[in-house]
Amino acid sequence: MTEPVESSEVKSPSYDLSKFRLKRILTNNTVRKSISLLGTFDDPAEDAIVVLEKNAYRESEVATESPSEESGSPKKPSYFSADLKVDTEFVNNIYGSYQVVPSRDLCGVKCTVVYPATEKHIEKYSVCQKYLIQETPDLYQRITLPYLSSSQFSLEWVYNILEHKQETERIVFEDKDPETGFILLPDLKWDGRNVETLYLLGIVHKHDIKSLRDLNGSHLDMLRNLRQSSKDAIFKRYGLNPNQLRMYFHYQPSFYHLHVHINPVRNDAPGIWCEKSHMLDTVINNLELMPDYYQRATLPFVLYEGNKLLDLYEKERPIRVVPVQGDDKEQPKKELADAEPVEGFSDEEEEEERQCKRIKLATPEPKEAETTVQACA
């Protein structure tokens, strides 16, 4: 097998992955070729989330040898070798269709496990309806901030990284300065094998910055350092041109300790949607122009069905409800679901009914195989 780009640390988990028992499918993304599953291991009372994702192709895996090299050794795994099993589906004139099974080394599937998984994790990995919220500074202070102070994912994994307790050998670069320093390391989402799909995180050492909202002019040195030192380290380690890197923050993030996402612009990494991402370059520029930009700006973000924050915003103004269009001002507002039948979730539904819908939505009929079903994450 070829050397992985990152050697991952080996820690024994408390569960046996092969003994996973499926409860239901949370999402099935046919474009990303990933599936998120809810189930259990030994303990039926503890939920587990398992995400399987087919690996992207590496260019070295389709390389072929010239006849003069054929006798040379050692050989790198390639699709085009004697190990390839070929089943012919049909051949018609100049067109051929096959199912092929390459050598074992090329059949790996990336598997991510969250165990034990909380209800919040299950929401995050489930398919659902999404809504855009326009968060003014006032709404942030009155609704978002109190909510996230009382309900957010644990940051233990972040502190484990910053305190060198976990993933230490995966660190690509560290600047230890408590004010402007950060740790750069591979994101959980990256398989660490393929530079084409490189996905790194830059986690700042400073502890009191929850998200973009907290950034101000005093953080410019830290942000500039994050940008420049990450680019330098990535060029040194992976040979990637700094002008080909996408660096951005999520708003809202899942984890409220400031971190920047970094991946190559030519790769459509998960979570790069415009409704969620804020380019580091733009953030720096906004702060240069107006040091309190993020305390004054209205920031849009996405909330998904099942998230309690959506209910809190719904009390403030209609979100799931849309006004009826037209001249008749007297007409009552209608629920979107009443206006036309949509395949979604409503508050009145029993959880069992929602689950059935989730599976239905997440498991397309063969004809719909090209449909993308996106997780909330």
Q: Considering only the stretches 176-184, 230-238, 253-261, 336-344, report the one whose residues sit in contact with ligand M7G under the rule CB under 6 A.
A: 253-261
Minimum CB separation of residue 356 from ligand M7G in Å reads 26
Q: What is the DSSP letter of 7?
A: P
Among 25, 162, 185, 212, binds ligand M7G (CB under 6 A): 185
Minimum CB separation of residue 187 from ligand M7G in Å reads 5
CB-nearer residue toward ligand M7G: 77 or 253: 253
Among 167, 196, 214, 311, binds ligand M7G (CB under 6 A): 167
Among 189, 193, 210, 213, binds ligand M7G (CB under 6 A): 189
Could you tell me the CA-to-CA distances from 119 to 50, 146, 153, 355, 357 in Å, in that order?
A: 14, 20, 11, 13, 18
Q: Considering only the stretches 4-12, 54-62, 93-101, 182-190, report the one whose residues sit in contact with ligand M7G under the rule CB under 6 A.
A: 182-190
- Residues β-bridged to residue 247: 262
Q: Considering only the stretches 7-15, 77-85, 91-99, 179-187, report the one whose residues sit in contact with ligand M7G under the rule CB under 6 A.
A: 179-187
Sign of the dihedral through C-alpha 67, 62, 266, 240 = negative
SS3 assignment for 161-222: HHCCCCCHHHCCEEECCCCCCEEEEECCCCCCCCHHHCCEEEEECCCCCCCHHHCCHHHHHH
Minimum CB separation of residue 247 from ligand M7G in Å reads 13
Among 39, 253, 264, 306, binds ligand M7G (CB under 6 A): 253
Catalytic residue flag (residue 259): yes
- Using CB under 6 A as the binding rule, whether residue 255 contacts ligand M7G is answered as yes
Stretch 195-214: interaction string toward ligand M7G, x if CB under 6 A: ------x-------------
CB-nearer residue toward ligand M7G: 184 or 287: 184
Closest alpha carbon to 203 in 232, 234, 172: 172
3-class DSSP state for residue 288?
helix
For 286, the enclosing helix (H) or strand (E) is helix 280-289
Among 79, 131, 147, 157, binds ligand M7G (CB under 6 A): 157
Q: Which residues, other chains included, contact 168 with Cβ-Cβ below 8 Å and sequence gap of 6+?
A: 9
3-class DSSP state for residue 245?
strand
Closest alpha carbon to 51 in 102, 114, 106, 100: 114
CB-nearer residue toward ligand M7G: 102 or 271: 271
- Using CB under 6 A as the binding rule, whether residue 271 contacts ligand M7G is answered as yes
Among 187, 196, 311, 314, binds ligand M7G (CB under 6 A): 187
Q: Largest Cα–Cα distance in the chain?
A: 83
> What residues act catalytically?
259
- Site residues (vs ligand M7G, CB under 6 A): 157, 167, 185-189, 201, 250, 253-255, 261, 271, 377
